[in-house]
Amino acid sequence: MVAALGLSHGRMASAQASASGGPAPAYTAILGAGDEYIIPPDTDVGLPIPGPPGDGLLEEDLIVVHVIHPPNDPDGLPFPIPPDWRPELCPLQKPPLNLQCTDLLADGTVNREQVDGTYTWSCDPTSQGPTALFSSTTTGLEKTAGVMFTVEEVGSAYATSGYIRVFDADLTFDEVAGNPQDTIEDAPGFFVGKGSARKPLTLKLEPSDPDKVMPWSFQDGVPHNGPPPYTLSLSPGGCVGIYSQPSGGTPLTGDALQWGWKWNVGQHKFVEQNAPTQLYVEPVSAGVCNLNLDLQFNPPEGFGDWYMGLMPYTNDSVKVTVVDVDLDIDGVDDAQEEDPGGFVAVNGLRKKILLAADPHTIGPVNLDATAGSDKVALYGAPSGGDPLGNHLHYDTGALVPTQLWVQGIAHSDAHGDVTITLDGTAGGQHFTDTVKLTVVELKSETVANTPANLARTTLGIGEPVVCYLRPAGLIADWELVGPGSLTGQDGDMRLFTASQSPSQSAVHARIAALDLVLNFNVIAPNAETVSWSADEGLGVKGPPNNSIGAKSLFSCLTGPTTVSFGWARLRERIADNPPQKVNWPDGTEETVQPWERIYTVSQSNHSWDRVWDGPHPIGRLWNGVAYVDFSFSVQVPLEYLPEVGDWVPWFPGQTHPREYKGADQSAKVGINVTNTASSRDWQGPWQ
C-alpha cells in the first residue's frame, strides 16, 4: 500500500480522499488494506498512521510516504513481516546494561537541516524532550507505534511504519524455584565452593532460532569470506569449566563454545549449528568469573536493505564467585583428610595444617576445634611459642594465615575424634572445610607389677613389656630396631621382650606418616642385698660332739630394684679356677668342690639362698694343743646368661664366709655381697 502525498504549508482540513485520487482542498488520509492514495501537491494531509499529538506533517516539497499496515496473519501476529522485509532488531532491556534501541523523535518534525538521518517516534512518547529511546522488557515482534522518516535530501522523506524484533540471549544459573535470577546474577552474583558439584547453566534464545530473523536468501548468498549472519558464543572466565554433562567428560573450550552459522568447507556454504539449551558449570579455582553469552547479528555485504537497527547485539552475563575455603593436613590427600584423617602424637612433633580462604575479600573466617578441643592446641610455629587458643577469628580471608601447627596434648578416645573446621562467609552462605585428627600415644606397660612404675622404659635383662596404642583399635606397622623380640598380631599392641644382654632397643609404631617410638634401655643386675631368714642346722646337736658346721637361709634382693629381673637367667657358683683350698688347724688341706646354682628371682627381684658348710670332723679345729678359732671364705660369683655366649659375672666379688669358734666348736655361715649377713646364732657342734 503506497500513498504519494503532495504537501504544502497550511492547516490540516478534514476531508475524505477519493478513490480515484482526485484533487481535494484538504485530506485526512485513512488507509485500508490494499488502498493507494495520491495526494495532490499543495494539500494539507494528516499522517496515514497516528502521529504525535497536534498538526500533521507539513512540508513544501513532495514527500512520498510508504505505509505498511497489513491485516493479522494466521499465526496470530498482529503485524506479520512481509516475505521481502525484516524488522529492526532491538535487544531486550534488562539489568545491568539496560540496552535500548533507536532514537525516537518525540515532536514529529523533520528539520530541513537534518539530512540522511533516521528518526522515529511513538504514538504516545513517555520521554521528555525532542528524543526518546525505544526499549522493551518483553521479547517478541512489535509493531512500531510511530513513523520512521528517512530524509534523503532537504524536503524529501520516506515515512514508514514498521516492526521491531526484540531479541534476547539469556543465561540461567543453577535455577531453583523462586530464584530471582536477573536481580542477583550480576550483583552480587552466585557463590559456589571450589570442587563442589557441577551446576546447570541454561541457555535460552529469543527467538529460539535466530536464523528466523534473517532473509532466507542468506543461506545461499552469504560469501564464505564474509562474517557469519549471526554468532553465539559463551565465555566462561578462568575459574570455572564448562561441560556438556553433569559429571565426567572433558571441558568445552574454544570453538566448542561458539554456535551459529559456520562455514562448511565440504558443502561450501554456511551451516547453522544450534546452541545447546543446557550446559554445566564446574568450579575449578578460586576467583570471580563472568559467564558471558553474546549474540551478534552481522548483515553480510550486499544485504544493506536488511535494516539491522543501531544495536544488533545482546549479552547476558552471570557473575560466579568460586570460593575456596580449604583446610588441609600437610601430607594427607584431600580425599583422606576426614577418613582416615591425620595423626599427631601426644607431646610429639606438631602437625602442620594448611589454610586458604579465597578470594581474600570473603569473611569473616573462623577456625575452630569443634570436637576434641581438650586434646589439641594450635600454635603459630612448628616449635616453641604459646598456644593460640582453639577458636581463631579473622575478619577477611586476607588475614587468614597459610599454615598453623597442631600439638597433641592428650590421646584421643576414638579414631578421628578431633575435628577442626575452617568456615568462611560469602554471599550470605557458609563455606566450610573440615579435617579430622587422631591424637595417638604409644604407651608401654611392664608385665611385672613391681616396681610400681609400670610405664618405665628402663628394663631388666629379659624383661617383657606390652607396647600399645591409644586410642585402641588403630592399625600400625610395627618394627623393632635393636636386640630383643617383638611379638603379637593385634594391630594396636605388641609384646616387646628385652634382650638377655644389656642393650638399647626402639619399638616403632607407624601410622600413615606418623612414626611413634618407644626407646628402651636394658640393664643387667649390679647389686645384691641379703638378710638372714632362718638357721637350719646340720642335724642333732651334741653331745656327743662329733662334727662341726652350720646351715642358714638368707633372703636376697637383686638390684637395682627399679627394674625387674624376673626373666633373667642367673646362677651362682663356687669358683674353681684356680681351685679353692682350705687349710684346717689340724693340718688337713681340703679342696672346695665346684658347685653351681642356676636360679631366677621373682618379678620383685626376690630370691632365697641357702648357705652351709660341713659337717666336718670336730678334730679339724684341734691344732694339737687345743680347739682354736678358724674362719675362711669361699668365692661364689654371681652371673647371668646373656643373649649370646657364656655366663657373664655381674657380681664377681660375692663370698660366703665360714666362721668357727674353738671354745665350744660352734659355727656360723654368711653371705658377703653389697652388704653382709650371717647366721643369727652359733650352730653345733653336732652328734
139 is a domain residue:
no
Min mean pLDDT across 124-128, 178-182, 301-305, 384-388 is at 124-128
Asked if residue 514 and residue 417 are part of one domain, the reply reads no
Asked if residue 291 and residue 243 are part of one domain, the reply reads yes
**Residue 225: per-residue pLDDT:** 60
CB-based contacts of 471: which residues, under 8 Å, 6+ apart?
Answer: 411, 412, 413, 414, 415, 417, 438, 440
DSSP state of 334: G
The answer to whether the CB of 257 falls within 8 A of the CB of 301 is no
**Residue 214: per-residue pLDDT:** 61
Query: Domain range spanning residue 331?
Result: 327-436
On the question of pLDDT at 258 being above 90, the answer is yes
Cell of 132: 526518546
Highest mean pLDDT among 96-105, 175-184, 624-633: 624-633
On the question of pLDDT at 254 being above 50, the answer is yes
CATH, residue 201:
2.60.40.2410
- Percent residues over pLDDT 90 in the chain: 60
Asked if residue 400 and residue 353 are part of one domain, the reply reads yes
What is the distance between the alpha carbons of residues 378 and 597, in angstroms, rounded to a whole number? 60
CB-based contacts of 221: which residues, under 8 Å, 6+ apart?
Answer: 300, 302, 303
290-327 residue pLDDT tens: 999 998 877 655 544 444 444 477 888 889 999 999 99
- Counting the structural domains of the chain, the total is 4
Calculate mean pLDDT across residues 180-184: 62
506-559 residue pLDDT tens: 999 999 889 999 999 999 999 999 999 999 999 999 999 999 999 999 999 999
Asked if residue 449 and residue 513 are part of one domain, the reply reads yes
6 is a domain residue:
no
Asked if residue 581 and residue 551 are part of one domain, the reply reads yes
Calculate mean pLDDT across residues 611-637: 96
The torsion region of residue 309 among left (phi > 0), alpha (psi -120 to 50) and beta comes to left
Asked if residue 535 and residue 519 are part of one domain, the reply reads no
What is the distance between the alpha carbons of residues 378 and 363, in angstroms, rounded to a whole number? 21
286 is a domain residue:
yes
On the question of pLDDT at 416 being above 50, the answer is yes
DSSP H or E run through 184 = helix 181-184
Asked if residue 313 and residue 200 are part of one domain, the reply reads yes
The answer to whether the CB of 568 falls within 8 A of the CB of 460 is yes
DSSP state of 266: T
Domain limit, last residue, from 471, 494, 523: 523
68 is a domain residue:
no
On the question of pLDDT at 32 being above 50, the answer is no
Asked if residue 291 and residue 198 are part of one domain, the reply reads yes
The answer to whether the CB of 36 falls within 8 A of the CB of 65 is no
- Binning pLDDT at 50, 70 and 90, where does residue 238 land? confident
469-505 residue pLDDT tens: 999 999 999 999 999 999 998 789 999 999 999 999 9
What is the distance between the alpha carbons of residues 387 and 368, in angstroms, rounded to a whole number? 14
**Amino acid at residue number 546:** N
**Residue 103: per-residue pLDDT:** 38
Min mean pLDDT across 114-128, 377-391, 510-524 is at 114-128
45 is a domain residue:
no
CB-based contacts of 572: which residues, under 8 Å, 6+ apart?
Answer: 596, 597, 599, 609, 636, 637, 638, 639, 654
On the question of pLDDT at 399 being above 90, the answer is yes
- Percent residues over pLDDT 70 in the chain: 71
203 is a domain residue:
yes
Asked if residue 596 and residue 572 are part of one domain, the reply reads yes
β-partners of residue 48 are none
CA distances from 643 to 460, 488, 523, 553 (A): 13, 21, 13, 31
Asked if residue 293 and residue 363 are part of one domain, the reply reads no
8 is a domain residue:
no
Phi, psi dihedrals of residue 499, rounded to the nearest 5°? -65, 155
The torsion region of residue 254 among left (phi > 0), alpha (psi -120 to 50) and beta comes to left
Calculate mean pLDDT across residues 412-437: 95
The answer to whether the CB of 375 falls within 8 A of the CB of 417 is yes
- Binning pLDDT at 50, 70 and 90, where does residue 674 land? very high
Nearest to 234 by CA among 199, 196, 203, 262: 203
DSSP H or E run through 515 = strand 514-523
59 is a domain residue:
no
Asked if residue 461 and residue 427 are part of one domain, the reply reads no
The answer to whether the CB of 474 falls within 8 A of the CB of 511 is yes
DSSP 93-123: P-TTT-----EEESS----TT--S-EEE--S
**Residue 577: per-residue pLDDT:** 83
DSSP 562-607: TS--TT--EEEEE--SSPPEEE-TTS-EEEPPPEEEEE---TTSEE
Domain limit, last residue, from 271, 299, 324: 324
Asked if residue 411 and residue 345 are part of one domain, the reply reads yes
CATH, residue 430:
2.60.40
**Residue 188: per-residue pLDDT:** 83
Domain limit, last residue, from 404, 436, 468: 436
DSSP state of 80: P
- What SS3 state is found at 400? coil
188-214 residue pLDDT tens: 888 999 989 999 999 998 888 777 666
Q: How do 258-264 and 676-678 pair as beta strands?
A: unpaired
Calculate mean pLDDT across residues 142-169: 48
